[in-house]
Amino acid sequence: MKTNFLKLAAVLGLILAGLVLGGCGESRTPFAGTYKSMEPFAGKGYIDLNLQEDGRGTWTLAGKTVEFTWMVNEKKVWIYTKTGAIIIVTPSDGGKMLSADMTGEWHKGCPANSCVVFRKVEQGGQGH
Amino acid sequence: MAATDKPPGTEAKTELKIDHIGQEVNLPAGTRIVSQGEAPEFFYVIQSGKVRVFRETADRIRTDLTELGPGSYFGEVALVTGQPRSASVEATEDSRLVKVSKVEFDTLLDQNPQLARHIIQQLASWLVAGDTRLETEVVHQVKLRQISWFDYVLMCGLSVVLALIFNIYNDNKIPLIHDWGQPAVAEIPIGQALALYRQNKAVFVDARKSPFFDQDHIKGAMNLPVILFDLMYPMFQFTLDQTPGDKDKTLVVYGGTISRRMDEDLARMLIRRGLKHVVVMKQYRDWASVFPITKHPPKPAATMPLGVPGMLEWIPMSIFLLFLIPPIRRSPYLSVFCRLLLGAIFISFALSKILRPAVFALNVVDYGIMPSFGVNLWALALPWAELLVGLFLILGIRTRAAATLIAAMNIIFIVGLVNAILHHMPINCGCVGEVGEPVNWLKVTKNVGMVLMCLQIYLYDRLLVLDRGGFILRDRKI
């Protein structure tokens, strides 16, 4: 019975490791940094997008900041909001440009009428 | 039968004193006196020292049965039955024994009825103990194939407990009941809303995700998906400001799902942003038949490549072919295959849902069949149930009960999928990935395949099962 418990503990340990590793995704380093939208958004100025290496991030527009978490999956940046929405962001130009699909759905490319394009202005994310 | 043939736990024997027979032998510690499997030739009485009785399997796994000291004896029953030794004996200390040959032993029995009676008693007690063990094993094997309520209480209870504990420490935690204790939002009957619409005295705001809005919405309504509220509100406000007079109109929010969280959530958020005159439509599902509608043909969600998990989920389709071949259909090896596959599928699908329950909760809302109060509880507990039953299937614990639970889950998924397909819902399946997974009949077929796999496990599974005695590696028939 002791051996069985050890086997069970080993499997539970593997699952826990899977949970931890599954939440990490690919390396965030290439995309960590501060980005600015290419165009003003909703007549309120430019959006500042900050992606920190620890997986946290902020979206700031007209002094209002929204916090989120992010990860890299299949070479795309996935932004998870607290409400459960997912914004799929497609990097281009070696991570210097990001195209955010604002539909909250997955599309092969970024839909033209729902796409916010960002340009990297600073390498590495700024912590709080 | 000899002492060396005894099952584990046999009690020490009564002391035996013999004179003038046998041959005295002195043995150093570690000497093998009797070997398992050899033909019996002698009966032994211990005069000093200690010996250990043990059994050894073909792959050298040793089980110590008992230890005997001065006055004890062994090897007598094998001499009586003539069977090979079923255990080995070795000296654990320097020992002095009296070694009695078969001829001398027979003489001893003839002259010593007390010893003969004792041996008969021993044999009888071992027979009774053997019968009891056999009965226990049979009962256990039968119980192994039975399903009890305890199995379900164990799996479901454990899932709920783990889900609640994990949610406390999860960075992405969600409330158990969405909007519990939140202020109520003013409602407007659909007739009044229609009057305002005709008089152009209200702005209609669709709170659903954009694919739903794109498919059909009240003519002239704006879309502000509640899940993207913080990011998209500036654009909403900008659009509102651009239309003269709209700022002062009543905002009528509508959603259209039994879960209600879309419209009520959005109304609360708008009120928190300082907007006045915000109401939600009372008959939240009837707007499509009352208001003028802008419609577009149904467009399924775009398909994202799902990699290995995506390929894994199609293997259950193979069950339809395998079921056509009767010997394979009934094979316990197929049961093991089904268990491992279903276990792997359910564990891999559960992981992202466990980490980000808010995303999964929104998938549940999209299906439109779960009442609001149950969405978050379902989104928290279901992934843990998937993980646990997957684990139980792989480890071989309560496999029949686990299979019935997975079948039940799949039937619920099938109902949800069929409902979504028939109502042309532009939703994401939420089966393997978090996005980019449209619902279609192939997904339904895959789930039917998994139900068949569960049925196969229920009927024929009996290999690699973890019971109280450890893994059953071979087919055991009762």
Whether B383 and B287 map to the same domain: the answer is no
pLDDT-derived band at B292, boundaries 50, 70, 90: very high
User: Which residue, of B295, B312, B335, is where some domain finishes?
Assistant: B295
> What are the tens digits of pLDDT across the range B340-375?
999 988 988 888 789 889 889 988 988 888 888 899
Q: Any idea which residue has 């958004």 for tokens?
A: A41
Q: How confident is the model at residue A117 (pLDDT cuts 50, 70, 90)?
A: very high
Judged by CB atoms closer than 8 Å, whether chains meet at A15 and B466 is answered as no
Q: Are residues B217 and B269 in the same domain?
A: yes
Of B240, B267, B295, the residue at which a domain comes to its end is B295
pLDDT by residue (tens digit) across A19-74?
A: 555 555 678 888 999 999 998 887 778 999 999 999 999 999 888 899 999 999 88
Same domain? B55 vs B167: no
User: In 3D, which of B185, B205, B198 has the Cα closest to residue B252?
Assistant: B205
* B381 and B460, same domain (yes or no): yes
Please report residues of B whose CB lies closer than 8 A to that of A87: 228, 231
Give the helix/strand (H/E) hosting B46: strand B42-48
Nearest CA in chain A to B394: A11
Q: Higher pLDDT residue, B12 or B461?
A: B461
Q: Is B470 within 8 Å of chain A by CB?
A: yes
List the single residue in B with minimal CA-CA distance to A45: B234
> Do the chains contact at B356 and A84, CB–CB below 8 Å?
yes
Report pLDDT for B220: 92
**Same domain assignment for residues B353 and B436:** yes
Q: Does residue B477 belong to any structural domain of this protein?
A: no
Under the banding of pLDDT at 50, 70 and 90, the label for residue B222 is: very high
B237 touches chain A (CB under 8 A): yes
pLDDT at B157: 95
Of the two residues B434 and B6, the one the predictor is more confident about is: B434
Cα three-residue angle B329-B330-B332, rounded to 5 degrees: 115
pLDDT at B15 over 60: no
Specify the pLDDT at position B314.
78
Task: Say whether pLDDT at B26 is over 60.
Answer: yes
When CB atoms are compared, the residue of B230, B238, B394 closest to A81 is: B230
Same domain assignment for residues B31 and B83: yes
Number of H helices, E strands in chain B: 17, 17
Task: Mark whether B449 and B316 lie in a shared domain.
Answer: yes
Instruction: Tell me if B361 and A44 make a contact (CB, 8 A cut-off).
Output: no
What pLDDT is attached to residue B474?
A: 42
Residue B179 lies in a domain: no
Q: Is residue B181 part of a domain?
A: no
Whether residue B232 lies within 8 A of chain A, CB to CB, comes out as yes
* pLDDT surpasses 90 at B4: no
**Smallest Cβ distance to A84: which of B358, B466, B470?**
B358
Q: Which domains does chain A have, with CATH numbers?
A: 27-123 (2.40.128.50)
Residue B182 lies in a domain: no
CATH number of the domain at B17, please: 2.60.120.10
Q: How high is the mean pLDDT of chain A?
A: 83
Closest C-alpha to B219, from B238, B236, B197 = B197
The band of A4, judged by pLDDT with boundaries at 50, 70 and 90, is: low
- Do B161 and B231 belong to one domain? no
Question: Residue B253 is part of a domain; what is its CATH number?
Answer: 3.40.250.10
Query: Does residue B128 form part of some domain?
Result: yes
Residues of A in contact with B226 (CB under 8 A): 83
CA distance A51 to chain B (A): 16
Residues of the domain holding B351:
145-172+302-472
Q: Answer yes or no: is pLDDT of A3 > 90.
A: no
The verdict on a CB contact (< 8 Å) between B209 and A105 is yes
- In a mutagenesis test of the A interface, which of B172, B227, B230 is the best target, namely the one with the most A β-carbons within 10 Å? B230
- The predicted pLDDT at position B78 comes to 82
Q: Does B395 touch chain A (CB under 8 A)?
A: yes
The Cβ-side half-sphere exposure at B179, using a 13 Å CA radius, reads 19
pLDDT at B472 over 60: no
Pick from B416, B478, B413, B476: nearest CA to B446:
B413
pLDDT greater than 50 at residue B277: yes
Pick the residue of A14, A46, A86, A90 with the most B CBs within 10 A to test the interface with B by mutation: A86
Q: How confident is the model at residue B291 (pLDDT cuts 50, 70, 90)?
A: very high
Exposure b/e, B436-466, CB count within 10 A at least 16 = b:
bbbbbeebbebbbbbbbbbbbbbebbbbbbb
Same domain, B197 and B328: no
Considering the domain boundaries, does residue B457 fall inside one?
yes
Whether B453 is covered by a domain: the verdict is yes
Q: What's the pLDDT score for residue B449?
A: 92
- Average pLDDT over chain B, rounded to whole? 85
CB B404 within 8 A of CB B151: no
DSSP string computed for B103-157: HHHHHHHHH-HHHHHHHHHHHHHHHHHHHHHHHHHHHHHHHHT---HHHHHHHHH
Nearest C-alpha neighbor of B275 from the set B256, B255, B249, B242: B249
Most confident of A84-98, B67-81, B456-470: A84-98
Residue scoring higher pLDDT (B244 or A32): A32
Tell me what the mean pLDDT of segment B387-410 comes to.
92
Minimum mean pLDDT range among B7-16, B17-26, B186-195, B267-276: B7-16
Residues B132, B167 within the same domain = no
In a shared domain, residues B152 and B207? no
Per-residue model confidence as pLDDT tens digits over B118-141: 888 888 888 898 888 888 777 766
- The DSSP bridge pattern shows strands B187-188 and B278-281 to be parallel
Domains identified in chain B, total number:
3
Q: Do A83 and B229 touch (CB under 8 A)?
A: yes
B75 plus B18 within the same structural domain: yes
pLDDT score of B260: 64
pLDDT at B76 over 60: yes
* Domain edge (last residue) among B271, B295, B319: B295
CB contact under 8 A, A83 and B227: yes
Residue B103 lies in a domain: yes
Q: B473 pLDDT exceeds 70?
A: no
